[in-house]
Amino acid sequence: MTAATGLASHVSPRRVGQLFLREIAHGYRGLLIAAAAVAGSVVVVAAIGALGRNMGGAPEGTVVGDGYWFYFQALLFLGGCIVASMAFRELWHGGGGIAYLTLPGSSLEKFAVKLLLTSVGYSAGALVLICATAAASEALDRLVFGVGHGFFNPFTPAVGQAVVRYVVIQSFFLLGSVWFHKLAFIKTALSIMVIGVCLGILAGIAFRIGIGPHLTAMGTGFGPGGSGTMRFGRWSFQMNGTGLQDLFKPGSTGYAGMQTFKVVAEGVVIALAPASWVAAYYRLREAEV
């Protein structure tokens, strides 16, 4: 059996299409309600802001704002992570889990459908929703109040970068969805925070060790006091002939080291996305056993 034949036995376009249709049929009502709630909230909040500027005497045609960029980021990251954390919710719900696990389709097909829907699918949906909502809201605000927030432009590099960041972050919550039986979003967020704090502590220790040769510890006010007491002072640290900012200015060794660390850290974080997907896939296979 060739590799292509083996893959074909695990991935069938027909089964994948049926799984996609099932996901859409089961979730479209909730998605429509959520989309309407998000769109309505954006329109109302934007209208209140436009009304305030209009009452404040802003000239007609004034455009103040970030072109709904904040709303897009909130919808993409917060909403997307919540959706990803609920991707495999039915897996742990008794009879619903049994029904899902017995669906025609391999583990790879089921996982691929969830992954595509919560990453590329959600990103595309968020862009379409925020573009339509921003256009309607901006037209309404300029027509009624004469001021606006600026139209949302989905074709900027910042939007592409935000989508890439979301796909990376989404992978952690997708793993949490198949790993945790309950409260997957909260437990995943807490896990990320704990890991972040631990890494921050390690980075702080490494930073302290790195600048150690440039610091001198000075203790002041130590020695015996009156009536047999001991007088304690305070420790202070002093740079040895150079300021901390000089150690990391462009062109310095410290600056080059920080840039290298940044590139390596970004590469590690990006690599965690496929690692999380692989872990989630194998966790799903374990649940099917």
Q: Is residue 112 part of a domain?
A: yes
Q: Is residue 78 part of a domain?
A: yes
Contacts of 129 (CB under 8 A, 6+ apart): 35, 38, 39, 75
- What tokens were used for 99? 């029904």
Q: Is residue 232 part of a domain?
A: no
Give the integer Cα–Cα distance in Å for 275 and 271.
Answer: 7
Q: Is residue 257 part of a domain?
A: no
Angle at 77 between CA 66 and CA 154, to 5 degrees: 45
Q: Is residue 230 part of a domain?
A: no
Per-residue pLDDT of the chain (289 residues; tens, 9 = 90+): 454 454 555 678 888 888 888 888 887 888 899 999 999 999 999 899 888 888 877 777 677 777 789 999 999 999 999 999 998 888 777 666 677 777 777 888 889 999 999 999 999 999 999 999 999 999 998 888 888 888 888 999 999 999 999 999 999 999 999 999 888 999 999 999 999 899 889 877 877 776 666 555 555 554 555 444 444 444 444 445 555 556 666 766 666 777 787 788 888 888 989 999 999 999 988 876 6
Predicted local distance difference test score (pLDDT) of residue 120: 93
Host domain of residue 40: 12-181
Predicted local distance difference test score (pLDDT) of residue 150: 83
Contacts of 246 (CB under 8 A, 6+ apart): 252
Q: Is residue 228 part of a domain?
A: no
* Residue 216 DSSP SS3: strand
Which residues partner with 234 through β-bridges? Answer: 220
Total number of domains constituting the chain: 1
Predicted structure pTM score: 0.80
Q: Is residue 216 part of a domain?
A: no
DSSP string, 65-99: S-TTHHHHHIIIIIIHHHHHHTTTGGGGSHHHHHH
Nearest to 64 by CA among 149, 151, 152: 149
